[in-house]
Amino acid sequence: MIPPRLRFLPFLLCGALGVLAFAPFEWRPLLPIGLAFLFFHLVRLPPRAGFFAGYAYGLGLMGAGVSWLQISLDLFAEVGFLASILFTLAFVAFIALYFGLAGWLIARLASGRGGRGGLGLLGVAPAVWILVEWLRGWFLTGFPWLGMGYATLDTPLAGYAPLLGVYGLGWLLALLAGALALMFSSALGVRAILAAMAGVILLGGWGLQPLTWSQTAGEAIKVSLVQANIAQTFKWDPDQFGISMKKHLELTAAHWDSDLIIWPETAVSAYEHTVRPFLLDPLESDAREHNSEVLLGVPIMDFKSDRYYNAMLRLGKAAPGIRTPAALPPPGLPEVVTYYKRHLVPIGEYAPFRSLLKPLIDSLGIPMSDFIPGTAGKPLLRVAGYQAGISICYEDAFGAELIQALPEAAFLINASNDGWFGDSIAPHQHLEIARLRALETGRYLLKSTNTGISAVIGPDGQVLERSPLLKEHVLTHRVIPLQGLTPYARLGNWPVLGLLGLLLAGLMIIGRAVPGTGMRRGFDWRA
């Protein structure tokens, strides 16, 4: 018998163990097993207890899964050990509210004896869980980290990614968790039906995996990803700037035979206009001389607002080769050579509620924390003769924004500085996110980072080549430009979200019309 004060501890442990389903551990079955345990109890709990059960699960998942935030604040923002722990705990406590909301809604809508069966565990719980996860992915700019769909990589369910996207994958995983929970309280015949349903879902995903959704759009290009491994403690030190640039230039000079050389996010840790004469212009001349291009991260000042953009700047001349019509700029328009980051990180890159939080952000000592978001309609930039879909840092966590680059983009590029996270699980989690973006879009994805993990990811989501973490390295690989649209890239998240919304609405109508289903007849927010 669990003491009353500890009755929510099992849910917290289930959440914490769920982190092991994600990279770098990838013990995939742990997530649906833990979620099945949570769902089994949520449909039996009153709404208030359901909130605390879901909240405890969220505390465990996020507390263990984003513990790297404390490393960033303590070692690199230098706010102090105690302050970094308090800030991380406050962040986790806030994000866990989404899980509490999901727990409350599931308990509220599926309460009663009937709700403990198929309606609650196969209908309400999976739909509510994913709709709230979607809410977490955009409300207050969103934090979609550790979405359930990422735990389906390297499983049969991953075959559905080009059709359903991350939220569709998450719903299928939640559906399997609900079926597992239902098995605990079902007769043998029902268990057989549930097992058959799970088998059909898994076999369907396995059968979809060999399908290809994109076609060759031109000749392969040779790409080099420069990972200079500049320690975050030195990155913004003016005395270290020359050493950092010398290392990047030396690594670049050894790979001028590549069509495209990519430096990571803010590889140039100074304003573009201040280094243009002695760094960028000579580098562009070298790139043109070798018929190559360099794509690099650099902050660009906006003199009107005295603020700046987090940008990727292309230098050099496009290498000759076969180009799709979409790779060329429209007639009469100048060619765009810069991409400005559109989805900024709150606190880290800009001050939400600026008048209130700007003093707090300044006290954290985070460099370059007053960026302006870019306003481009599509995250595109022409490099090496092809349009590429560009994302900076955790922009690649927002799949609905990344697919805006399609169908024009022949491949995807993500430039990051994961040096903030040190030798933690965060770079592995970030690579996992990039893998799913490649699989959703049917495109190669080139991930260039400062300290690792840099990688070339194939359109099937598999890592073709990767760099070691926290080591200097240049990763070179040939990449095939692709064209075509996956169903997810064409339609986005709305078909899955609309289906789940209609499913919940239908279940509520059934609950009103059919006595004994266990579905609430009305929706009382005071409950």
Catalytic residues: 265, 341, 393
The angle that helices 161-183 and 125-136 make with each other, rounded to 10 degrees, is: 130
Q: Which helix (H) or strand (E) holds 176?
A: helix 161-183
Cα–Cα distance measured from residue 255 to residue 232, given in angstroms and rounded to the nearest whole number: 25
Strand segments, DSSP code E, in 384-527 are: 386-392, 411-416, 445-449, 455-457, 463-466, 473-479, 482-483
Contact (CB, 8 A) for 165 and 399:
yes
- Tell me which residue of 66, 90, 68 sits closest to 360, measured CA to CA: 90
3-class secondary-structure state, position 508: helix
Name residue, tokens 């049917």: 442
Cα–Cα distance measured from residue 295 to residue 383, given in angstroms and rounded to the nearest whole number: 8
Backbone φ/ψ region at 509: left (φ over 0), alpha (ψ -120 to 50), beta: alpha
Count of H-run helices and E-run strands, the chain? 18, 14
Contacts of 1 (CB under 8 A, 6+ apart): none
3-class secondary-structure state, position 129: helix
224 phi and psi, to 5 degrees? -120, 130
Cα–Cα distance measured from residue 5 to residue 396, given in angstroms and rounded to the nearest whole number: 40
Contacts of 138 (CB under 8 A, 6+ apart): none
Backbone φ/ψ region at 484: left (φ over 0), alpha (ψ -120 to 50), beta: left
Contacts of 210 (CB under 8 A, 6+ apart): none
3-class secondary-structure state, position 151: helix
Contact (CB, 8 A) for 66 and 92:
yes
| DSSP per position, 190-241 | HHHHHHHHHHHHHHHHHHHTT----EE-S--EEEEEEE----HHHHT-GGGH
What is each CA distance from 131 to 99, 101, 329, 503, 511, in whole angstroms?
11, 11, 39, 11, 20
Contact (CB, 8 A) for 241 and 409:
no
